[in-house]
Structure 1
Amino acid sequence: MEDEWLWGWDPTPGIVSVWAEPDGRAFVWRRLPGGGGLVREDVRFRPWLLLSSLEDLAHLGNRLRPEKEGPAPNVVTWEELEGPGALRYVVRANDGRALTAALLHGTSRRLGRSFGHLRDLDSNTVLSLPPEEQYLTATGRTYFRDLGFDDLRRLQFDLETTGLDAEKDRIFLVALRDPAGGTEVLDAHGNDDTAEADLILRLMERIRFHDPDVIENHNLHGFDLPFLARRARLLDVPLAMGRAGAPGLRQRPASRGAAVGRGPAGRSDAMRRSRYTVPGRELIDTLDAVLRHDFSARDLPGHGLKVVAKHLGISGPERELIPGAKVHEVFLKDPERVRRYAREDVNEAAGLARLLGGAAFALARMAPRRYERLADAGPATGVLDPLLVRAYLRAGAALPAHEEGDGTSHSGAALHLFATGVARHVVKADVASLYPSLMRQYRIGPKRDRLGALLALVDRLVDQRLAAKAKAKAAPPGSQERYTHEALSAAMKIVVNSAYGYMGAVGLTRFSDVHAANEVTRHGRAVLSLLCRELARRGVTLLEADTDGVYFAVPEDWRELDERRVVSEVAALLPPRVKLEFDGRYAAMLSHEPKNYALQPYDGALVLRGVAFRSSRAEPFGEDFLRRALRCLLVGDIPGVRDAYVSTVMALRRRQVPTFDVSSRVRLTKSPSQYFGIRERRRELPYEAMLSGGRKDWAVGERVRVYRAVGGRAGLLPDPEDSREVSAANDPRDYDAEYYVRLLKETFAARLVRALKPEDYATVFDDPGQPSLFAPLLSNARPVLNVVLDPEQVEPTEGGEPPPSR
C-alpha cells in the first residue's frame, strides 16, 4: 500500500495528458510504448467532494444515498471514511456541476447568505480538487509511466511583437521548433489586422500538424500566451490549440502568472495569478524550472532566457543578439537577422527545458496532478499534499482539517559561523538530507497523520532515490536512461527535503505539526554539535556548519586521504540514518557571513554563494570586480586586489564601464497611483526612471533595469533581460560615475573587510585619485582568518542531550 501511496496503483502506461470536465467526462491521451503512436481514451468518472458533514446535502432527501446502494441518475452518494479526521464524507455524483450546485444551495440556505463558488466555503468543511485531480486521485493513475523525457513530443514557439502592450501592439513573427528539432519562422504578410490574424491561424495550424504533447517556452505564461490570447480575442481569431477542439485557452489559478491586457484600462497586469491550459497538451514555462534551480543552486546571473542559456552553455558563441525593444525595428531593415535570432530563442528554450525540466517530469510520475501544474508547484503544498490526500482516500481514512496551531513558534535550523576571513586547504563534508534522515531515525511525523503516511513517503523516497542515483551512475553518460534516473533522483530529493518544512508550516499544510518539526530541529542541533566538536578534536579549523554540511580547513601537510579519513571517523559516530559524506576540497575559502562565502577549487572556476556575492539586484560591474578581487585574494595576492579596485575606479571615472553594468534589475512593487501618492514626500529611483523614460503606466511586479544618471537623474534601460552585449549597441554612458565609485567601496569592497587587517584594508581601497602619503606597502600583506566561535561552546540542543552514537 505504501508504494501505492507514492506511485499510484493503476499501471496504465504512457499517459501524456489528462483533461476532465466537471460533468464527469475525462479524456486521456496515451503514447503507446515502442513508438506506437498516440491514442485517446474517452471515459466517465464520478466527480467527488470531501465534506466534514452531510448537513448541507440533507435537502436532497432520498436523492442522497449511501455509496453501497450504487450510483443512479440525479443521485448523490456518500461514503463515511474511518478515523477521527474532520473531512470524513466522500460524496459522489454522475455530474459534478449538480453536486456543487446542491452543496452551495444547502450551505446558502443554512447560513442565510448566497454562496456562488466552492472556493467561498470554509476549506475545513470541504475539499474540492480540479476535475483532473479528482480523476487521477480516484483511479490511481499518473502521468508518464514507462516513458522517458525524450519520448514526449515537445514543441517550442516564441512570439516577436512590435511592443509589450497587447491592446495596441501586434505579433509580427513567430518562431517554432517542432518535436523533431526542426525550426521554422512564420511572418505576418503585412501590418494590419488581417495579416496578424492570418499569422495566428497559421501558428494554430502548425501546432495541430505537429501534434505535440507539450508546448514550451521561456516566460510562456508571463508573456507569450497572455499576449497571444489578447490579440486573438481582439481579432476574433479562435485559438484551437488543444487536442479536443473547443474550448481554446482556458485560465487556471496559479501562484505566478500573467494576463496581458487584463489590468486597469486594458493595461498589462503582470501579477495576475493565473495561467493557461488546453485539453490534451501540457503548457510548460521553462522560467519555472530556472527559478526552482536557482532557489537551491544560487548560481545564475539572472533568469532571462539568453542569460541562463549562456551561463549553462546552451547558447553558442555566434548567438544573434538584438535588444528586445529594437527587434521590430531591426526586422524592418534586416528581417533575416531577426529570423536567426528567433530560431535561436526556441532552440535555447528547448535545451533549457531538457536540461532543467526532468524533475517536474519525474514528479508527474508520482503525484496525481497535471504535469503543467507540477512544473510550477511548490514541493510542499504542490506535491506532498496531493500525495497525502490520495494516500488517505486509498486507505479509506478521514482527513484532518487544517489547524492554526497553539501559538508555538517553529524553531529555526542550526547555523554556526566559526571563523571569518580567508582559509586555505578547505574541505566540505555534506550531511545528506539531515532533517528527513532524523525524521526516519527517530520516527518523528505529524501527530495527526495517524496512518504515518508522511514518514512512509519519506522512507520510500529516500530508499528509491538512492537506487535511482546508482542506476544513473551505471548508465552511459548522455543516455536517456541516465537522464531519466538523474531526473527521478532530483525529484525525490525535492520532495524529501520539503517534508520537514511541511510539518513546520503551521496553518498552511494539512498535516502541519510545529511540535514535531521542533523535535526534529532539536535532534538536528544535537547532531550538528556532535559533528562540529568531533571534527575540531581531530585538528581541523571549523569555518561554517549548518544542516547541509560543514566547511573546515585542514593542516597544510594533510593529503586528500587524511581529509577523507577524518570525515569517515566522524560519520561513524552519528546516528545510523544520518550520512556524512566527503563532498569536496578547495584551495581556499573566503568566509564572509553565514551562508555567504567564496570558494576557489584546486582547479576550476570560482564558486560564489549567498546574496553578498550573487544577487539579481546587484550591479554587474560590482560583481565583476568581486570576482577579479577574490581570485587574487584567495591566492594571497593583495596587490592584485588593489589593482582590481584601482582599474575599476578608473574605468568608472573614464566611463569605460557600459551603462548596463552599473544598472540594477529591480521589481516594481508600487502601482503608478501608489507612487504618485507618495512622490512629493519621497522619490524612488526605479519609478523616477520609469517617468524619465516616458513610462507613466506600469504593472506591479514588472522588472526593469535602472541606474543613477548624472545630475541626480534616474535612467532606464529598455529591456531588463537584455545582456550587456545587446545593450552596448545603444549605450548612453550618462551614469553618475562618482556615485558608483562610492558604491564600489561601500558595498562591494566591504565584502572583503574580514579578510584583511584594518590597515591593509584601508590601503587596498584608498582612493587612487587621492592616495595617502603614509600608506603601508602591500608586498608583505596577507589575508587573515579570524576565529569567532569555539566549537566546544556550541550547545548540543535546547535542554537536550547529544544523540547516541552507533
Structure 2
Amino acid sequence: MARSKVQVASALQREDEYLFGWDPMPGIVSVWAQRDGQAVIWQRINGRIVNHTEQYRPWVLATSLRDLAHLGDALQPVNERKPGKVLVRYHKLKGPEKSYSYLVFARDLPTLEQAILNGAITRLKKPLNSLMEIGDDYYRVGVVEQYLMGTGRVYFRGMNYQDLHRLQFDLETTALDPHRGRIFMVAIRDNQGFELVLDAPEPDDEAVLISRLCSIIQERDPDIIENHNLFGFDLPFLEHRAMAHGISLEIGRRGGSMVLESYPETLAVGPDARKRTRYSVAGRELIDTLDAVRRHDYVVRDMPSYGLKDVARYFGIASPERVYIEGAEIFETYRSQPALVRQYALDDVTEVDGLSRRLLGAPFALAGMAPRRYERLASAGPAMGILEPILVRSYLRAGAALPYQAAKQSAEDGLHEGGAVHLFAEGVAEHVVKADVASLYPSLMRTFQIGPACDRLGVLLSILGRLTDLRLTHKAAAQTISDLSGEANPHIATQAAMKILINAAYGYMGAGSMALFADGQAAGEVTRRGRTILTQVLDSLRQRGMALIEADTDGVYFAVPPDWTVEQERKLVSEIGAQLPVGIRLEYEGRYRAMLSHEVKNYALLTYDGGLIVHGVALRSSRAEPFGERFLRKALKCALLGDIQGVADAYQETVQMLRQRQFTASDLATRVRLSKTPEAYRLTRATHQEQAYEALLNAGRTHWYPGERIRFYKARNKTVVWLPDETEEAPVSDDWRERVRTGRSSQTPTNLPQHAEVAKRRDYDVEHYLHVLVTSYAARLRKAFEPADFEQLFRIDAQPGLFDEPIENIQPRWIRCSQDL
C-alpha cells in the first residue's frame, strides 16, 4: 500500500532527527559540560560569539535498579513527586527486560556514580572505585555526549566551514625534547588575516614568549586551534616548558575554564593505533591535522610520509616560494638569518591552514550529525566513534531501551566469514582497469534490508538509506557548481562525511563485542551476498577474455587489450554492471598504464601521466631508509614501463654511490618507533640486543619513552649510531611533569650529539647497506621478473655471468589478457 504524503514527510522527519538531532539551536562552536551538571555553550551568531550556561542532568543507562534500591524513597521515577529528598530519578525505557532499559540521572554525576557504587559494593561484596569495575550492567558516555544526546543539539547548525574562526600556531624549538631544548619562536596566524611571529632569542625570553602566546590566543578568540602534530609535539612541549617556568596555560574561552587540560587516550585512526596525551580547553576545539592526514592515508595508502612538508607537496598546497630548512639547522640558521626562519615558520602555519581546508571539511560536516565535540570527531573511528553515538541518541529520543546482550551474543557466535580476496596473477600488467562495486556492503544492507536484529527501531538501516539519498543529492549539487566559486565545498565536504558513515555501517554491525548493536549473523549474510556479486563480476570478465589480476570487496583490477580506448573500457564495465541486482552499482574506478602485482593488496600502479602509486606494506615500510626508497621508486617506475636497462642502471648507480660513500648518514638511517621503556629493555638486553636501543645507549642516552620515534644507522665499526632527528612527529615524554617536580630533568646528558653533525657523516658500513639494498629493496621487485633474470639484474659484484642474457632480452613477467595471446 502506497504511503500518503503525510506519512512520507513524517518518516523523513524521523530519519532526519535520527541523523541530525532535533534541536534547532544554531551556530554552536563549542560545548564544555562538567560532572556537576553544568554545561557552557558557545555560539557564533552573525559573526559574534555568545555563551550561556545550562543545567543538565547527568545520566547512566542501567539494566536494572538493583544497585540503587538502597536509596529507598530517594530513588523515584521521573513522573512521581513523593515527599522527601530525591537523589536519583529514573525513566523506564520501552523494550525487552534484559536490556539497558533504565535511564537513571541525578543533579550531578558524582552523586549518581556514588549511589550506584554503594549498592554494587554491597551486592558484590568487594571494593569498587568506578562503574567500569562493576561490569557491563551500565552504559555511559562522556559528559558532553550526555548533554548533546539529551538535548538533540549538534555543532555548527546553519554554518559553513569558512564561518569558523581558526587559528594556527607552530613552535620552533632548539631540540625536540624539553629536557634538552626550549621554545625560541612561535608563528601564529588565523583565517581572518592575522599573522605574527614571536621570538625568544635568549633562554630568559622564553617565559615572556609563552605568556604572550596565551594573551594573543585570548585576544584573537578563535573557535578552533590547529597545527600539524599539535597533540604529539606542540601542546606537550608548550605545556612542559610553561610548567618549568611556573606559567599557567590559560588559552580557554571566557565563560569556562581557561586552563589547558590533558588526559590519556588511545588514537583510533589507522592500523597503528596507539596511546597518546589528549588536550582540551573550554570554548575552543583543538584540531591536529596529522590525525586528518592519517585518516586520509588509511583510505588511499599512497602518501610518501605524514610530515607537513611532504603532505603539503602531496596535496599541492605548498607555495613555490616556500622556505625549506632542515629541522636540525633551524636554530643555527635563526642565529644568522632570523628573517628567513620567521618566513619558514609562517610558511608552516600557512600550510596547516591549507591542510585544514583540504581535509577537515568532512569532520566539520560530521559534527553536524553526531552528538560529540568537533575535536573528537576529527580523529574518531567512524563506527564506534560516530555511528554508535547517533544510534544511542536515536533510541533515547524514542524512549526505547538499548540492546544489552547483542554485542556479547555476536562475539560468542564467533567470526563470520569475510569478503572474498583473490590474487589471480603476479607480475607486470599493462593497460589496467579498476572496477568497483560502489559501497558494496552498505548497498547490500540497504537493498536486501539486512540490519542488526537487535535494532528494533531499524535506526541503522533508516540512517543508511537517508545518508545514501542525501549523499547523492550533495554529490550532484557539487558537480553543477564551478570549482572556482568555492560554493561547491560544503556539498563536497558533506557528501564525503556521509560516505564515511555509509561505509562504516557494515563494519559496525560486524564489530562483535565492541559494538552495542552488533550482529555477526547479519554481517555474515552481507559478506555472503558480497561474495556472490564479486563472483558474478569475475565470471563476466573471464568470459570476455580480460586478464584478472586482483579482486576483493573494494573492486577488481584487470588488464584489457592494448588498443582499447577509455570508452571501450567504460562500456565493458557498464555492460557487466547492468547484469547485477537492482541497487548494486558497478562503477568504472580508473585506468592505469601498468601495474605490478606483488601479493594481495600489495601493488604498484603507474598512471597514464607518469604518477606512481605504491600500495601495501610489502612495498612500503615506515622503517624505510631514504636511499632505498629512492632506488625502489625509480626502479619500480622503470619496471612498469618495461625499461629493464633503467632498472639495471638505477641499481648499479645506487651500488656505486654506496661504495664511493656519496650518501650521508641521514640517507641511510632507519626510523623506528620505540615500544619499551629503559627499564624494560635492560631486563632483556643481556640475551637480546636491539639496535634502536643500543644506538641510544651508545650516544649516552639513558632516558627514552615508548612512542618516541628515532633514527639510527650502522657505522663501519659495526656499531649503531643514533641520529637525533628533528622530525615533525616526535612526541614529548609524558613523565615530564614528574621530572620537573623531582628535579630529575637535569640528569639528561648535555653532551649528546647534534643532528647536523651526525646527519652528514659518511662512516657507514658499506657491505651492510649493500645487503640491505638487495634484501630489503630490490627483493620487492622479485615478482616482476623470472628468477634467473632477477638474480642477474641485482647481483652485488656486477660481474657478468657465463649464462647471462643480453639486457635487451630481459622482459618483465608480463600478465596478458587472452585476447593478446
TM-score, normalization by structure 2:
0.89
| Maintained 8 Å contact 2:559/2:816 | no
Say if 2:139 is the partner of 1:127: yes
For 2:225 and 2:237, locate their aligned partners in 1 and report how far apart those are by CA, in whole Å. Answer: 16
**Which one of the candidate residues 79, 104, 117 is aligned to 1:68?**
79
Q: Residue 498 of structure 1: CA displacement?
A: 1.7
SS of residue matched to 1:457: helix
For 1:508 and 1:46, locate their aligned partners in 2 and report how far apart those are by CA, in whole Å. Answer: 27
Deviation per residue, 1:606-659 (Å, 9 max, x gap): 222212333322222222222222222222221221111111111121122333
Aligned position for 1:753? 782
Aligned position for 1:403? 408
**Which one of the candidate residues 542, 548, 571 is aligned to 2:554?**
548
Give 1:414's aligned amino acid.
Answer: A
For 2:487 and 2:646, locate their aligned partners in 1 and report how far apart those are by CA, in whole Å. Answer: 47
CA gap 1:427/1:728 in 2 versus in 1, 3 angstroms: farther
SS of residue matched to 1:94: coil
Alignment of structure 1 residues 494-505 onto 2, 5 Å:
494-505=500-511
CA gap 1:760/1:568 in 2 versus in 1, 3 angstroms: same
Say if 2:678 is the partner of 1:672: yes
SS of residue matched to 1:310: helix
| Maintained 8 Å contact 2:717/2:765 | yes
Q: Residue 328 of structure 1: CA displacement?
A: 3.5
Aligned position for 1:95? 108
CA gap 1:456/1:679 in 2 versus in 1, 3 angstroms: same
For 1:200 and 1:70, locate their aligned partners in 2 and report how far apart those are by CA, in whole Å. Answer: 54
Aligned position for 1:796? none
Aligned position for 1:798? none
Give 1:343's aligned amino acid.
Answer: L
Give 1:238's aligned amino acid.
Answer: S
For 1:620 and 1:478, locate their aligned partners in 2 and report how far apart those are by CA, in whole Å. Answer: 38
Root mean square deviation, CA, Å: 2.4
Q: Residue 786 of structure 1: CA displacement?
A: 5.3
Deviation per residue, 1:494-541 (Å, 9 max, x gap): 222122221222111112222221211111111111110111101211
Deviation per residue, 1:298-336 (Å, 9 max, x gap): 111211222222332222344333443443344344433
Q: Residue 125 of structure 1: CA displacement?
A: 1.4
For structure 2, list consecutive stretches of 5 or more residues without a partner in the other structure. 1-13, 730-754
| Maintained 8 Å contact 2:308/2:728 | no
**Which one of the candidate residues 784, 788, 806 is aligned to 1:777?**
806
Say if 2:769 is the partner of 1:740: yes
SS of residue matched to 1:716: strand
Say if 2:77 is the partner of 1:77: no
CA gap 1:757/1:163 in 2 versus in 1, 3 angstroms: closer
**Which one of the candidate residues 159, 180, 190 is aligned to 1:147?**
159
| Maintained 8 Å contact 1:431/1:549 | yes
CA gap 1:635/1:272 in 2 versus in 1, 3 angstroms: closer
For 1:658 and 1:212, locate their aligned partners in 2 and report how far apart those are by CA, in whole Å. Answer: 44
For 1:252 and 1:455, locate their aligned partners in 2 and report how far apart those are by CA, in whole Å. Answer: 35
For 2:286 and 2:484, locate their aligned partners in 1 and report how far apart those are by CA, in whole Å. Answer: 26
CA gap 1:162/1:636 in 2 versus in 1, 3 angstroms: closer
Say if 2:171 is the partner of 1:159: yes
CA gap 1:125/1:788 in 2 versus in 1, 3 angstroms: farther
Say if 2:184 is the partner of 1:179: no
For 1:788 and 1:474, locate their aligned partners in 2 and report how far apart those are by CA, in whole Å. Answer: 38
For 1:187 and 1:275, locate their aligned partners in 2 and report how far apart those are by CA, in whole Å. Answer: 27
| Maintained 8 Å contact 2:95/2:400 | yes
Say if 2:421 is the partner of 1:415: yes
For 1:157 and 1:70, locate their aligned partners in 2 and report how far apart those are by CA, in whole Å. Answer: 53
Deviation per residue, 1:269-301 (Å, 9 max, x gap): x97543111111001111110110111111112
| Maintained 8 Å contact 1:665/1:720 | no
Say if 2:728 is the partner of 1:719: no
Aligned position for 1:804? none
SS of residue matched to 1:430: strand
Give 1:254's aligned amino acid.
Answer: E
Give 1:291's aligned amino acid.
Answer: R
Aligned position for 2:42? 29
**Which one of the candidate residues 230, 234, 257 is aligned to 2:244?**
234
Give 1:59's aligned amino acid.
Answer: H
SS of residue matched to 2:198: strand
Say if 2:229 is the partner of 1:219: yes
SS of residue matched to 2:266: coil
Give 2:455's aligned amino acid.
Answer: D
SS of residue matched to 1:22: coil
For 1:407 and 1:497, locate their aligned partners in 2 and report how far apart those are by CA, in whole Å. Answer: 23
Alignment of structure 1 residues 762-773 onto 2, 5 Å:
762-773=791-802
Number of aligned residue pairs: 770
Q: Residue 156 of structure 1: CA displacement?
A: 0.9
Give 2:207's aligned amino acid.
Answer: A
SS of residue matched to 1:299: coil
Aligned position for 1:797? none
SS of residue matched to 2:408: coil
Give 2:794's aligned amino acid.
Answer: F
Q: Residue 727 of structure 1: CA displacement?
A: 6.7
| Maintained 8 Å contact 1:271/1:700 | no
For 2:718 and 2:797, locate their aligned partners in 1 and report how far apart those are by CA, in whole Å. Answer: 24
**Which one of the candidate residues 198, 204, 210 is aligned to 2:214?**
204
Deviation per residue, 1:435-470 (Å, 9 max, x gap): 111111222122222222222222222222222211
For 2:716 and 2:144, locate their aligned partners in 1 and report how far apart those are by CA, in whole Å. Answer: 57
Stretch of structure 1 that moved more, 692-701 or 156-165: 156-165
Stretch of structure 1 that moved more, 546-555 or 480-489: 480-489
CA gap 1:324/1:501 in 2 versus in 1, 3 angstroms: same
| Maintained 8 Å contact 1:646/1:768 | no
**Which one of the candidate residues 334, 352, 367 is aligned to 1:349?**
352
Deviation per residue, 1:153-199 (Å, 9 max, x gap): 0001122233344356433322111232432111237423xx43322
For 1:30 and 1:752, locate their aligned partners in 2 and report how far apart those are by CA, in whole Å. Answer: 56
Percent identity among equivalent residues? Answer: 52
Aligned position for 1:799? none
TM-score, normalization by structure 1:
0.91
Deviation per residue, 1:700-745 (Å, 9 max, x gap): 111112222212111222226379xx97994112222222222222
Deviation per residue, 1:408-460 (Å, 9 max, x gap): 22323211111111112211111111111111122212222222222222222
| Maintained 8 Å contact 1:420/1:787 | no
CA gap 1:253/1:83 in 2 versus in 1, 3 angstroms: farther
Deviation per residue, 1:745-766 (Å, 9 max, x gap): 2232222222223332232223
Q: Residue 680 of structure 1: CA displacement?
A: 1.9
Q: Residue 80 of structure 1: CA displacement?
A: 0.5
SS of residue matched to 1:302: coil
Deviation per residue, 1:344-373 (Å, 9 max, x gap): 221122211221112211111110000011
Q: Residue 253 of structure 1: CA displacement?
A: 4.7
Q: Residue 252 of structure 1: CA displacement?
A: 4.1
Stretch of structure 1 that moved more, 21-30 or 212-221: 21-30
Aligned position for 2:120? 107
Aligned position for 1:372? 375
Alignment of structure 1 residues 296-311 onto 2, 5 Å:
296-311=299-314
For 2:76 and 2:601, locate their aligned partners in 1 and report how far apart those are by CA, in whole Å. Answer: 59
SS of residue matched to 1:779: helix
Q: Residue 239 of structure 1: CA displacement?
A: 1.9
| Maintained 8 Å contact 1:28/1:41 | yes
Q: Residue 216 of structure 1: CA displacement?
A: 0.5
Give 2:148's aligned amino acid.
Answer: L
Q: Residue 150 of structure 1: CA displacement?
A: 1.1
CA gap 1:758/1:117 in 2 versus in 1, 3 angstroms: closer
Aligned position for 1:48? 59
SS of residue matched to 2:606: strand
Aligned position for 2:519? 513
Aligned position for 2:740? none
Say if 2:138 is the partner of 1:138: no
For 2:111 and 2:812, locate their aligned partners in 1 and report how far apart those are by CA, in whole Å. Answer: 74
Give 1:142's aligned amino acid.
Answer: V
For 1:159 and 1:87, locate their aligned partners in 2 and report how far apart those are by CA, in whole Å. Answer: 47
Aligned position for 2:257? 246
Deviation per residue, 1:657-706 (Å, 9 max, x gap): 33323222211111112212222222212112222233221111111122
SS of residue matched to 1:276: strand
